[in-house]
Amino acid sequence: MSTLTFASWNVNGVRAVAKKGFYEWLDKHKPDIVGIQETKISADQLVPDISAPRGYVSYWSHAEKRGYSGVALFVREKPLSISEGIGSPKFDKEGRTLVADYGDFVLLNIYYPNGKASEDRLSFKLGFYDAFLTYAQKLRKQGKKLIICGDFNTAHKEIDLDSPKRNVNISGFLPSERAWMDKFVSKGYIDTFREVDANPKNYTWWHVMTGARARNVGWRIDYFFVGDELKHNLNHAGIQHDILGSDHCPVTLTLNF
């Protein structure tokens, strides 16, 4: 039996987090596969210090809009195949998805849209959710075992944010967003952290301007989900609350194969 370790982190700008210890964290913890979101970098801005950390191969998906969105994967072992997007130009032009097929599993690293800016962006977010789920279900029908990581930009349950009643009308905790999370889980996707830890006060994002992190007034919006066919492979899932550098912190997953 082999053990694989995974990490996922919304870095809120890879060039910024590179100056705040990201690559030192990577070198210390050495996950087998790391997905990062909100890289905010274009292809022509990649330099070896960012794109080629020691011991890893990197893959990048960039938004058409400069300084916006973007995801990347750092892997110790190359996948059988790597692809971008979920098959919809409307969504894929924002560089939100990388899909790595390892045979034993397929990893989807995704930066889901934020719906706070406007009703249009909320509609875009919900449309992305549905297009993603259609894509994921298609992969499962092909016999693929899925691991999905990233910033979902939604706290699913009341336990997943500090002040649920105060935020019920805020995007990220709207009934429509939470209903989609319910639907997602009902299709056989497992929130790995909640499989191992049912305690409150476990968050992955904190508002910077209000000093919320020091008071642990946060939201849990970063996840590792697996299809239920991988439930028995679950070894551990965690949140690295103490890792700084972004307004989010890393989340982790360990699977046995």
What's the whole-number mean pLDDT along residues 84-103? 98
Model confidence band, residue 153 (pLDDT cutoffs 50, 70, 90) = very high
* Contact of 182 with 241, CB cutoff 8 Å: no
Q: Which residue has the tokens 């319910």?
A: 182
CA–CA distance, 140 with 35 (Å, rounded to integer): 21
pLDDT, tens only, 34-93: 999 999 999 999 999 999 999 999 999 999 999 999 999 999 999 999 999 999 999 999
CA–CA distance, 153 with 169 (Å, rounded to integer): 14
Question: What is the helix (H) or strand (E) element at residue 147, kind and residue range?
Answer: strand 146-151
β-bridge pairing 146-151 and 189-191? unpaired
- pLDDT value for 1: 82
For the chain, domain boundaries: 3-256
CA distances from 36 to 81, 246, 250 (A): 18, 11, 9
- pLDDT value for 94: 98
| Average model confidence (pLDDT) across the chain | 98
Helix axes 175-186, 119-141, angle to 10 degrees: 0
Residue 178 has pLDDT above 90, yes or no: yes
β-bridge pairing 218-219 and 234-239? unpaired
CA–CA distance, 65 with 59 (Å, rounded to integer): 18
Closest CA to 226 of 197, 198, 184: 184
* Contact of 222 with 204, CB cutoff 8 Å: yes
Residue 5 has pLDDT above 90, yes or no: yes
Question: What is the helix (H) or strand (E) element at residue 57, kind and residue range?
Answer: strand 57-61
Q: Which residues are CB-neighbours of 209 under 8 A, at least 6 positions away? A: none
What's the whole-number mean pLDDT along residues 91-106? 98
Q: Which residues are CB-neighbours of 139 under 8 A, at least 6 positions away? A: 106, 146
CA distances from 229 to 12, 16, 189, 250, 254 (A): 32, 37, 9, 25, 15
Q: Among residues 92, 151, 191, 247, which one is catalytic? A: 151
What's the whole-number mean pLDDT along residues 223-237? 98
Under CATH, which number does the domain 3-256 receive? 3.60.10.10
Active site residue 151: yes
Torsion of CA 164, 168, 170, 173, to 10 degrees: 70
pLDDT, tens only, 185-208: 999 999 999 999 999 999 999 999
